[in-house]
Amino acid sequence: MDSSHVEHDLVNVLFTEAQIHDRLGEMAQQISADYEGHDLLMVGVLRGAVMVMADLSRAMPGHLEMDWMAVTSYGSGTKSSGVVRILKDLDTDISGRHVLIVDEIIDTGLTLSWLVNNLSSRRPASVEIATLLRKPEALQMPVEPKYVGWDIPNEFVVGYGLDYKERYRNLRDIGTLAPHVYS
């Protein structure tokens, strides 16, 4: 879906599809160089990271493996509840593996902080985070991603996997959702 289809629902477009693809390509090159000679397992956080994971993995020049987890701390609202639940666990044994968690956004950090601790307890060789977006002003837990596409203001954003009540995920751009949509 193009942003022109929902232009009245958006305050502005932060990043276009082309900008997103360019940035993910840059991140893929950096990740590939950092993990050269290592067996990398990318773990996507469902559902929001689907677009990021797909495009980031396609931009990677070498082999990698993928698995998925579904965790939630949001429910259907716009703010994190702070309670993390696993909805789908990994199918892969990660002991001794280099794990790169791929997510679309770091907001409060509660979910990713919990996820890093959970995966670290499974004895991987390493656990790092790659995220397309980070909201530094919203952080409530210390989370140190190794790879960040962009830092953004503490606004409610949608598109490219980010949703509001399961809508806007298929928006090709990332934009700030207008308050009239969710108030």
- Is 107 known to be catalytic? yes
Reading the block at residue 176, the tokens are 């700030």
Judged on CB neighbours under 10 Å (0-12, 13-18, 19+), 28 is buried
Contact between 118 and 45 (Cβ < 8 Å): no
The 3-class secondary structure across the chain, one letter per residue, is: CCHHHHHHHEEEEEECHHHHHHHHHHHHHHHHHHCCCCCEEEEEEECCCHHHHHHHHHHCCCCCEEEEEEEECCCCCCCCCCCCEEEECCCCCCCCCEEEEEEEEECCCHHHHHHHHHHHCCCCCEEEEEEEEECHHHCCCCCCCCEEEEECCCCCEEECCECECCECCCCCCEEEECHHHHC
Of 107, 151, 163, 173, the active-site residue reads 107
- Which active-site residues does the annotation give? 107
